[in-house]
Structure 1
Amino acid sequence: MLVPFEVAKGTYALQLNAGAFGSLTLKINVTEQGTYKTELSAEQPNMEGHSDSTFTYNLTLANRTASKQQYALTAEPPAGWDARFSSGGNNVTAVDIEPNATSSITLTLTPSEKAEAQTYKIPVHASNSSTAADVTMEAVITGTYGIDLSTSNQVLSANVTAGGKRTLELSVKNTGTAELTNVSLTNTAPTDWEVTFEPKTIPSIKAGESVPVTATIRSSDKSLSGDYVVGLTAQAAEKSADAAIRVTVKTSVLWGWIGVLIIVAVLGGVYWLFRKYGRR
């Protein structure tokens, strides 16, 4: 027995007449009024996070029509944002739903890195040529993360003698609109080199503020003359920044004078030998 979709919720009595065999009364309980509509709803349509957050919404698409439907899924995010639908663990752009059945769909929104702090409304559509449904998601961007690491004078080069040390004044700046927390300083340096920071960890940096850090670079006493690269990293819980310092190692002046003295001594020895044995 097919119950028309327009029948209202309630209990209905039907009389079956079997002629000479008598009649039978049936009662049918309609628990929900049918429609010819498609319904699209979200478990939690409003979410909040930073610009580098990922917003995930759980949607339910219900086919209330009398036939199987294929729905195209689309969203209208702001420019620079990415919107992806998935169902059953697979990315989809459309879903098939049997009559009076539902499908669970996940919408994942990735904001633009330049998204400003405000509330964004993202219309979502499930549609085909005969029926459609819409719902609007909200993504509240509370701030953006940004960090910059450089020297105080913006010069990313230094000189040092083999086995010597050089001190650099660094600046760690919060270039975003949200506070940075637990900023640690680390490095990658040539073998047998040593780099220390003061302070090594910064508890927090408020938006727009800078914190000075002193880095001490000590080269290996076995380093040959030439250019070396020391990598510095400021790593926050939310964001990180790198700086590459070109360090030029020069031969110690002491060894230069020792070389000069050796040459003078050799020349002096040759001259003495020449004077002593040269006329024989």
Structure 2
Amino acid sequence: PAKLKLTTNFPALRGTATTAFKYRVSVTNDSGRDATINFSADAPKNFQVSFTEAYGSQQITSIPIEAGKSKDVEASLTIPRETQAGDYKLTLHAKTEATSAELPVSLTIVGQPRVALSGEGGRLSGEAYASRSSQLTIVLRNDGSEAARDIELSATAPEGWKSEFDPKQLPQLAAGATQNVKVTLTPSDRAIAGDYQTTMRASAAGGLSESANFRITVLTSTLWGAVGIAIIAIALLVVVFAVARFGRR
């Protein structure tokens, strides 16, 4: 009877939900006749398995293999980004009209943090006055499946601006958790009224980094406006008084 054999050197793979998983499988037609081999797979829900010839890129569902010969194929696995950490089992199938073979393989998904930054209420804007401190709140969120660790916050602001974070560092942020962070911005005393961009950034262990751009509108201080008006008014009064006093002479 015709026989099929499936073998692989690496039946157990490990990675995060964004890893590109590939099983290299040797398919042997151990029989006395040529055959067309059809491929399929049993996989967890929402896992997608596709087959290609080794070193090829075009997807296949079957390949011809001569009697007594072998060919290598790759089974590529695509999984949802939100897949939870854990162990998963799959079975690869090969089938001809006369016989079939199967190969159990496994997959271990390890957790992965995914940090996101946004403004309070989703706003990415704020207001400030030149040389005066103003506060805004940013929201740090971990949408991943593992805690983000050693998080440090920083800002890239226009020249002469100062920024402070409270807290500036977080030992960790659990998966699914959020953390409000107070940001104190002090524009330069030379800042004129208008819109400026400030980039808020969160960096974490493992090379993880996320940033968001905020539009900061610098306003004209009403206090300095009032002082200016008062100075002008005083100057006018002095002129009027001088004209009235010396004009009679």
TM-score w.r.t. the length of structure 2 is 0.74
**In structure 2, what is the equivalent of residue 186 of structure 1?**
154
* Deviation at residue 112 of structure 1 after TM alignment: 0.6
The match for 1:139 among 99, 104, 107 is 107
- Shift in Å at residue 260 of structure 1? 0.5
Mapped contact 1:167–1:216 kept (Cα < 8 A):
yes
| CA 1:220–1:107: 2 relative to 1, 3 Å | farther
CA shift in 2, pair 1:226/1:63, >3 Å: same
Does 1:44 pair with 2:13? no
In structure 2, do the counterparts of structure 1 residues 83 and 231 end up closer, same or farther at CA, with 3 Å as the change threshold? farther
Partner of 1:20: none
Residue 204 in 1 paired to residue 204 in 2? Answer: no
1:39 is paired with a residue whose SS is strand
1:27 corresponds to which residue? none
Q: In structure 1, the residue corresponding to 2:57 is in which secondary structure?
A: strand
Q: Which letter maps to 1:248? A: T
Contact 1:87–1:105 under 8 Å retained in 2: yes
Cα distance in 1 for residues equivalent to 2:127 and 2:147: 35
Q: CA deviation at 1:262?
A: 4.0
The offset of 1:80, in angstroms, is: 3.6
Number of equivalent positions: 246
Q: Give yes or no for the alignment of 1:219 onto 2:187.
A: yes
Tell me how far 1:121 sits from its aligned partner: 2.5
Is the CA contact 2:51–2:74 (under 8 Å) kept in the aligned structure 1? Answer: yes
Within a 5 Å distance, the mapping from 1:117-266 to structure 2 comes to 117-143=85-111, 145-150=113-118, 157-168=125-136, 170=138, 172-197=140-165, 200-207=168-175, 213-236=181-204, 237=206, 240-265=209-234
Identity of aligned residues (%): 28
Larger relative contact order, structure 1 or 2 (CA cutoff 8 Å, min sep 6):
2
Whole-angstrom distance in 2 between the partners of 1:100 and 1:89:
22
Of stretches 111-120 and 124-133 in structure 1, the one that deviates more from structure 2 is: 124-133
Check conservation: 1:84, 1:91, Cα contact below 8 A.
no
Q: What pairs up with 1:68-147 in 2 under 5 angstroms? A: 68-94=34-60, 95-143=63-111, 145-147=113-115
